[in-house]
Amino acid sequence: MNLYLVQNPIVHVYVWKEFSNEAKKRVITGITRVFTEINIPAEAIEIVIHEIPMENWGIEGEQASEKKKFENLKIP
């Protein structure tokens, strides 16, 4: 196994609350794949998923929960 001079990567992902467990698994798998493609071993990678309620997420000066464009959004 190669030794790395850098710290193990810790990736923080912010999503809206109620993100499904299946979607979280896909995010973790995908991010891990990207790092392994650049020769960072999977066991060195940490991923933290933060779930944020839409009313605590601001977009274009408004709460995401109040934005019309998100009314029919299905969170994966």
d(CA 72, CA 76): 12
> Domain residues of the chain, as ranges?
10-70
State the pTM of this model.
0.77
Fold annotation for 10-70: Macrophage Migration Inhibitory Factor (3.30.429)
Per-residue pLDDT of the chain (76 residues; tens, 9 = 90+): 555 555 789 999 999 898 999 999 999 999 999 999 999 999 999 999 999 999 999 988 999 888 877 777 777 7
Nearest-angstrom CA–CA distance, 39 and 47: 17
Cα separations in angstroms, 62 against 9, 22, 41, 65: 33, 29, 40, 8
CB 9 within 8 A of CB 43: no
- Show which residues are catalytic: 9
